[in-house]
Amino acid sequence: MPYMKFLYVRSDVCRAIFFACFLAVQKTSHKLVSFLFFSYLCILYQSSKKQIQNMEKKQIVFIEYLRVVACFLVMLVHASENFYGADSSGLAGNVSMLANESNRFWVSFYDGALSRICVPLFMVVSAFLLVPMKEGMTMHSFYKRRFMRILPPFIIFQLLYTFIPAMLGQWTWNEALDGLWMLPFNFSPMAGHLWFMYPLISLYLIIPVVSPWLEKSTAKEELTFIGIFILSTFIPWLHTFVTRELWGECFWNGFTMLWYCSGYLGYLVLAHYIRKHITWNRGKRMRIGLTCLFIGGAFTGWSFWWKGVPGQIIETPLLEWSWEFCTPNVLLATFGAFLLFTCIEQKEAPRWITDISRLSFSMYLMHLFFLAPIAGFFVNGNQAEPLIPVWAAIPCIALLSFLCCVITGKLLSFLPGHKYFGI
C-alpha cells in the first residue's frame, strides 16, 4: 500500500534520531543516566521495528486467506463438472447434458455463481505480490527465481499424470508415450487443469516488460488500459453470438485489434491498480466488493442456467458462454471478491491458514488424483441420482479432495526434495 513507503521513511528517521541521541547521552558524565536512557531508546526502537513488521504482515495477510479459498473453489469447479458431462468420462467435455433441474440449478450455483473467480484470483494474487519487480532485480534474476519455483513441479506432475493412468489401465502405454511426446507442446490429456500453467508462465514472462511502466504510470493511465481490457472481455461473447472472426481475425491472422490489451495481462494491471491507487476505507471496499461480487456471480450463474436445458445435448462452449475467465461478469466478480479479501485486517493469519496457503500450488497440481475417484464414488454412475443429493454431493467431493490434498501436501513437505512438488 502507498502508506508503507512513509513507514519506511519514518523508520529511517527514527534510526537517525536514535543514534544522535545515543551519541549525545554518551557525552554526559552520569553513567547511570546514560545507561537508563540508552535502554529506553533500545526498547523504543524495537517497539517501532515490531510495529512496522506488523504493518507489513497486515498488508498481505489477506492473501493467505485468498489462496486457501481460491484453491478450494478450483476443486468446487471440477466437482461440479461431474454433473453435466455427456461423454464416457462423466466429465464436461466437448458436449454436455444436464440430467435434471436439480443438476441445472446447483451446477449453475456452485460452478458458475461461486467458483468462476478461482483462476483470476490466483492471477491477481501473483501480480499483486510481484508487480512491479523489486528494485535492482534484473529480468534474468526474476525469471530464474520464478521459473525455478514453478517449472520443476509442473514437469513432475505432467509426467505423473501421463504415466500413472497407464499404470492403472486408464489408457494404454502407447497412448501414454504419445502423450509424453506432446508434453513440450501442451498439457497431458489426463490433466486438463494444467492449462493454467501456460498463462501463468506468460504472465511471468511479461512482468519484467510492464514493470517499468507500472512504476511510473499514473492512476489515470492505468485506468485507461483497464478500460481497454474491459472492452476486450466482450470478445468471447461476440465470438459466440456474432462472429468467429472479429476485428481483423481471419484464417491467416489470429490476433484481434485488442489482442495486446487482452487476456490475463489485464488482471496484472488491475492488481497493481488496486494495490497502488485504491485508497478506499474498509466500509467502502466492503460495499463495492459485495455489490460487484453479487452482480458478477449472479449473472455468471444465470447464464449457464439459461442455456442448460435438462436432457438436451449442447456444445459445452455454448453452455459455458459467459464462463471464460476473461469475460466482463467474471472480471466484475473477481474484482469484488478481491476487494472483500482486502477487508481482512488481522495482524496475523492462523497457523493452519498459512500452512494451507503454502501448500496451495502443490494442491492445485495434485488434486485431480483425488477428485476423480471421490467424484466417481459419489456419482456412482448416475448423475441424476448420486449417493447423496447433488446440492450436498458437489461440496462434499470438493471438501474431501481438498482435505486429501492438504494431508498429502503436508506429508510431502517432510521430504528433502519437497520443493520439486511445489511446496
| pLDDT above 70: percentage of residues in the chain | 84
Q: What is the pTM of this model?
A: 0.83
* 56 pLDDT above the threshold of 90: no
What pLDDT, on a 0 to 100 scale, did the predictor assign at position 87?
62
At CA 287, angle to CA 67 and CA 277, rounded to 5?
70
What pLDDT, on a 0 to 100 scale, did the predictor assign at position 10?
42
Banded pLDDT at 88 (limits 50, 70, 90): low
Banded pLDDT at 129 (limits 50, 70, 90): very high
Q: Is residue 222 part of a domain?
A: yes
Residue 60 has which C-alpha cell? Answer: 498481505
Mark whether 40 and 73 lie in a shared domain: no
Banded pLDDT at 50 (limits 50, 70, 90): very low
| pLDDT above 90: percentage of residues in the chain | 69
pLDDT digits (tens, 9 = 90+) for 254-307: 899 999 999 999 999 999 999 999 999 999 999 999 999 999 999 999 999 999
**Cross-strand pairs, 253:** 250
Question: Domain span at residue 190?
Answer: 62-421
Mark whether 193 and 298 lie in a shared domain: yes
Mark whether 17 and 140 lie in a shared domain: no
CA distances from 308 to 188, 314, 321 (A): 29, 8, 11
Residue 35 has which C-alpha cell? Answer: 545507561
Mark whether 69 and 12 lie in a shared domain: no
Return the residue matching grid coordinates 497407464. 166
CB 103 within 8 A of CB 79: no
Mark whether 34 and 72 lie in a shared domain: no
Domain boundary among 51, 72, 89: 51
Q: How many CA atoms lie within 13 A of 269 on its CB side?
A: 27
Mark whether 117 and 208 lie in a shared domain: yes
Mark whether 344 and 269 lie in a shared domain: yes
Q: Is residue 204 part of a domain?
A: yes
What pLDDT, on a 0 to 100 scale, did the predictor assign at position 178?
86
What pLDDT, on a 0 to 100 scale, did the predictor assign at position 18?
46
What pLDDT, on a 0 to 100 scale, did the predictor assign at position 180?
87
pLDDT digits (tens, 9 = 90+) for 319-375: 999 999 999 999 999 999 999 999 998 889 999 999 999 999 999 999 999 999 999
Mark whether 36 and 112 lie in a shared domain: no
The backbone torsions φ and ψ at residue 95, rounded to the nearest 5 degrees and listed phi first, read -125, 155
Mark whether 35 and 94 lie in a shared domain: no
Mark whether 295 and 344 lie in a shared domain: yes
115/185 Cα distance (integer angstroms)? 28
pLDDT digits (tens, 9 = 90+) for 141-188: 999 999 999 999 999 999 999 999 889 888 888 888 888 888 889 988
CB 334 within 8 A of CB 395: no
> Is residue 96 classed as helix, strand or coil in its secondary structure?
strand
Mark whether 81 and 162 lie in a shared domain: yes
Q: Please provide the average confidence, as pLDDT, over all residues in the chain.
A: 86
Banded pLDDT at 9 (limits 50, 70, 90): very low
In 27-182, which ranges are continuous DSSP H helix?
31-80, 101-107, 118-130, 139-167, 173-182
- Among 67, 15, 25, CA closest to 358: 67
CB 383 within 8 A of CB 82: yes
Q: Is residue 203 part of a domain?
A: yes
- Among 169, 164, 152, CA closest to 188: 164
* 248 pLDDT above the threshold of 90: yes
67/118 Cα distance (integer angstroms)? 9
What pLDDT, on a 0 to 100 scale, did the predictor assign at position 420?
87
Mark whether 25 and 107 lie in a shared domain: no
What pLDDT, on a 0 to 100 scale, did the predictor assign at position 8?
40
Task: Please state the domain count of the chain.
Answer: 2
